[in-house]
Structure 1
Amino acid sequence: MMQKIKIVKKKKPEQQIVIVEGEPLPDHGTCKHYRKSYRWLRFPCCGKLYPCDVCHDENERDHEMKFASRMVCGFCSKEQPFQKSKPCIRCSENVTRVRSSHWEGGKGCRDQTLMSRNDDRKYANSRMKTVSKKHVGQLVIKKKPTNEK
């Protein structure tokens, strides 16, 4: 008869991350679910820090999640009350990426400084925008003659 041999795998201890105020969080507080959120949230249901609600649900299956009341800045690790749209109270960095692809005042949606130089749209209509000084001419401001008596 063959004997079954059990191989026991050692469990790795959970990685404890030490938060030092003034130093950034790992990956500036982002996670695989929300790459544009630079903060960790402290959930009142368990008192633990997680980068997002999905990370909380993956790791804490024994209780239901309550909305976070506090957050930790991903740039300076300052714990503060949860504020959705305001910057950090210590380092003044935005804890969420501020970007918009909406039509902005007739300029369009493309930011030419971020576009690739191989993109034809980066230089579209650039010839129409530049005008030579010779074509425009120079303005000569003449002084009014004053009557001296």
Structure 2
Amino acid sequence: MPERPVVRGPTVDEQTRCVHYRTSLDVIAIRFACCGEYYPCHLCHEEAAGHVARQWPYDARDTKAVLCGVCGTELTIAEYVAVKACPHCAAPFNPGCALHAHLYFEPDPSEV
């Protein structure tokens, strides 16, 4: 199995929970388009990265940019937005994260 990516920012455990989001369902980290680094959330990136975040363009949906903090599997953006749990280990993801998706990923142009 490949080495697990480093998750930057104020994580509070090995499953990528952070000081901002730390419920049992907060187990993903996002690789940011601007720097290619994983952070647990947009607030962690804002505090630690030293630059403005940039969304992944819609046509980059095949990019591995979401890390399951439970098993370490990297998901493509398309895989992540289509599931409610990790397809590898079945760990449930926080459904509330969809409220912040626009901070990480450009929306589908047909839905705007």
TM-score exceeds 0.5 = yes
User: Per residue, is there more helix in 1 or in 2?
Assistant: 2
Deviation at 1:97, TM superposition (A): 6.8
* Runs of 4+ more than 3 Å apart: none
Aligned equivalent of 1:78: 73
Q: TM-score, structure 1 length as denominator?
A: 0.44
The aligned residue for residue 65 of structure 1 is: 53
Map 1:33-48 onto structure 2 (within 5 A).
33-36=20-23, 37-48=26-37
**TM value normalised by structure 2:** 0.56
Q: Partners in 1 of 2:17 and 2:28 — Cα distance?
A: 7
Separation of aligned partners in 1, 2:41 and 2:89: 21
The CA deviation at 1:89 is 1.6
Unaligned ranges ≥5, structure 1? 1-17, 21-25, 99-149
Long gaps (5+) in structure 2 = 6-12, 97-112
Larger Rg belongs to: 1
Residue 19 of structure 2: aligned partner: 32
Residues 1-149 of structure 1 mapped to structure 2, 5 A cutoff: 19=4, 26-36=13-23, 37-61=26-50, 63-67=51-55, 70-82=65-77, 83-84=80-81, 86-96=84-94
Size of the alignment, in residue pairs?
75
Shift of 1:86: 2.0
CA RMSD in angstroms, aligned pairs only = 2.4
Percentage of identical aligned residues: 31
- Does 1 or 2 have the higher relative contact order (CA < 8 Å, sep 6+)? 2
Per-residue deviation, residues 29-50 of structure 1 (Å, max 9, x unmatched)? 1101011311111001100011
Residue of structure 1 in register with 2:8 after alignment: none
